[in-house]
Amino acid sequence: MTEEARTVTLTINGQQITAKKGATILQAATEAGIYIPTLCYYQPLTPYGGCRLCIVEVEGMKGFPTSCTTPAAEGMAVSTDTPAIQELRRNVLELILSEHPYFCVTCDRREYCEQFRGQVQKTRMVVGCHTCPENGRCELQKLADYIGIGEISLPYTPREVPVLRDSPFFDRDYNLCILCGRCVRVCQELRGVGAIAFTYRGSHALVGTAFGRSLEDSGCQFCGACVDACPTGALVEKTAKWLGVPERSETTTCPHCSIGCQLELQVKAGKVINSIPALSGINQGQACVKGRFGIAQFVHHPARLASPLIKRDDILQEATWDEASQLIADRLPEYRGEQFALLSSATNTNEDSYIAQKFARVVMNTNNIDNSASFYQTPLLNGLIRRLGSGIIASSIGEIENAACIVTINGSVASVQPIAELKIKKAVSKGAKLIVISPFKVELCRFADSWLQNSPGSEVALFLGMMQVIISEDLVEQAFVDKYCENFNGLKESLAELKPDFVEKTTGVSWHQIVEAARCYATTKPASIIYPLGSIPLTYELDSVFAICDLAMLTGNVGKPSSGVNLLGMLNNAQGVYDVGASPYLYPGCQPVSEMRQKFEAAWSCKLPSMPGLAVTKVFDAIDKGQVKALYIFGQDALLMAMCSRYKDLLSKLEFLVVQDVFLSDTAYLAHVVLPAASFAEQDGTFTNTEHRIQPVRKIIEPINYARPGWWIGCQIAQKMHASGFDFSQSSEVMNEIGNFIPQYRNADDGHFGMPTRGREKAGDKAKFMPIDYEEATEAVDSQYPLILMAQPSLYCFYASVDVQSKMAGFSRLCDRELLEISSADAVKLGISDGDEVRIVSRHGESIAKAKVTKNVLCGTVCLKFHFIDSLFRLTVDRDVVTEPFEIKLCAVRVGKVQ
Indicate if the pLDDT at residue 380 is higher than 80. no
Rounded-to-integer distance, Cα 525 and Cα 478, Å: 15
Give residue-wise pLDDT tens across range 702-755.
999 999 999 999 999 999 999 999 999 999 999 999 999 999 898 775 444 554
Rounded-to-integer distance, Cα 896 and Cα 841, Å: 8
Residue ranges of alpha helices (H) inside 389-441 are: 413-416, 418-429
> Going along 73-220, which residue ranges are E strands?
77-79, 170-172, 197-199, 206-208
Kindly state whether residues 397 and 463 are assigned to the same domain: yes
Which of 136, 131, 109, 103 lies closest to 118, judged by CA?
A: 131
* Higher-confidence position of 247 and 767: 247
Which amino acid appears at position 340 of this protein? Answer: F
Q: What percent of the chain has pLDDT over 70?
A: 87
Kindly state whether residues 258 and 279 are assigned to the same domain: yes
Indicate the residue among 718, 746, 774 that finishes a domain.
746
Q: Considering the domain boundaries, does residue 407 fall inside one? A: yes
Rounded-to-integer distance, Cα 477 and Cα 543, Å: 22
Q: What is the pLDDT of residue 3?
A: 59
**Secondary structure (3-state) at 469:** helix
- CATH number of 796's domain: 2.40.40.20
Q: Is 290 left (phi over 0), alpha (psi -120 to 50) or beta?
A: alpha
Q: How many residues does the chain have?
A: 899
Q: What is the pLDDT of residue 242?
A: 80
Indicate if the pLDDT at residue 640 is higher than 70. no
Which of 620, 675, 681, 684 lies closest to 649, judged by CA?
A: 620
Q: What is the pLDDT of residue 551?
A: 94
Q: Is 785 left (phi over 0), alpha (psi -120 to 50) or beta?
A: beta
Q: Considering the domain boundaries, does residue 94 fall inside one? A: no
> Going along 510-639, which residue ranges are E strands?
527-532, 564-568, 586-587, 591-592, 630-634
Kindly state whether residues 600 and 685 are assigned to the same domain: yes
Indicate the residue among 536, 551, 568 that finishes a domain.
568
Distance of CA 836 to the CA centre of its chain: 31
Kindly state whether residues 340 and 285 are assigned to the same domain: no
Kindly state whether residues 550 and 639 are assigned to the same domain: no
Kindly state whether residues 319 and 363 are assigned to the same domain: yes
**Secondary structure (3-state) at 313:** coil
Distance of CA 726 to the CA centre of its chain: 32
**In the structure, what pLDDT confidence band is assigned to residue 391 with cuts at 50, 70 and 90?**
low
Rounded-to-integer distance, Cα 87 and Cα 676, Å: 61
Kindly state whether residues 400 and 542 are assigned to the same domain: yes
Mean pLDDT of 634-653: 72
In order of 100, 403, 484, 539, 761, the CA distances from 476 in angstroms are 62, 19, 13, 29, 17
Provide the β-strand partners of residue 373: none
Indicate the residue among 515, 539, 568 that finishes a domain.
568
Q: What is the pLDDT of residue 862?
A: 95
In order of 444, 466, 682, the CA distances from 704 in angstroms are 40, 54, 8
Q: Considering the domain boundaries, does residue 78 fall inside one? A: no
Kindly state whether residues 325 and 403 are assigned to the same domain: no
Distance of CA 568 to the CA centre of its chain: 9
Q: Considering the domain boundaries, does residue 209 fall inside one? A: no
Q: What is the pLDDT of residue 184?
A: 97
Q: Would you say 714 and 708 are in contact if contact means Cβ atoms under 8 Å apart?
A: no
Kindly state whether residues 699 and 727 are assigned to the same domain: yes
Q: What is the pLDDT of residue 104?
A: 66
Q: Peptide bond preceding 885: is omega within 30 degrees of 0, i.e. cis? A: yes
Rounded-to-integer distance, Cα 438 and Cα 776, Å: 17
Rounded-to-integer distance, Cα 417 and Cα 872, Å: 20
Kindly state whether residues 724 and 596 are assigned to the same domain: yes
Question: In the chain, how many domains are there?
Answer: 4
- Domain boundaries, position 276: 248-299
**What rounded mean pLDDT belongs to the chain?**
87
Q: Considering the domain boundaries, does residue 192 fall inside one? A: no
- CATH number of 353's domain: 3.40.50.740
Which amino acid appears at position 231 of this protein? Answer: P
**In the structure, what pLDDT confidence band is assigned to residue 385 with cuts at 50, 70 and 90?**
low
Mean pLDDT of 756-767: 52
Q: Considering the domain boundaries, does residue 594 fall inside one? A: yes
Mean pLDDT of 308-333: 97
Q: Would you say 756 and 693 are in contact if contact means Cβ atoms under 8 Å apart?
A: yes
Q: Considering the domain boundaries, does residue 778 fall inside one? A: no
Distance of CA 754 to the CA centre of its chain: 19
Kindly state whether residues 511 and 391 are assigned to the same domain: yes
- Beta 656-661 vs 57-58: how paired, if at all? unpaired
CB-neighbour burial class of residue 108 (10 A; exposed 0-12, middle 13-18, buried 19+): exposed
**Secondary structure (3-state) at 267:** strand
DSSP notation for 560-580? STT-EEEEE-SSTTHHHHHHT
Q: Would you say 98 and 156 are in contact if contact means Cβ atoms under 8 Å apart?
A: yes
579: phi then psi, degrees, rounded to nearest 5? -55, -40
Give residue-wise pLDDT tens across range 451-462.
999 998 889 999
Query: End-to-end CA distance of the chain, in Å?
Result: 73
- CATH number of 434's domain: 3.40.228.10
Give residue-wise pLDDT tens across range 488-510.
999 999 999 899 999 999 999 99
Indicate if the pLDDT at residue 377 is higher than 80. no
Rounded-to-integer distance, Cα 661 and Cα 679, Å: 9
Q: What is the pLDDT of residue 637?
A: 63
Indicate if the pLDDT at residue 883 is higher than 60. no
Highest mean pLDDT among 486-500, 640-654, 758-772: 486-500
Rounded-to-integer distance, Cα 642 and Cα 116, Å: 49
Q: Considering the domain boundaries, does residue 816 fall inside one? A: yes
Which amino acid appears at position 728 of this protein? Answer: F
Kindly state whether residues 819 and 872 are assigned to the same domain: yes
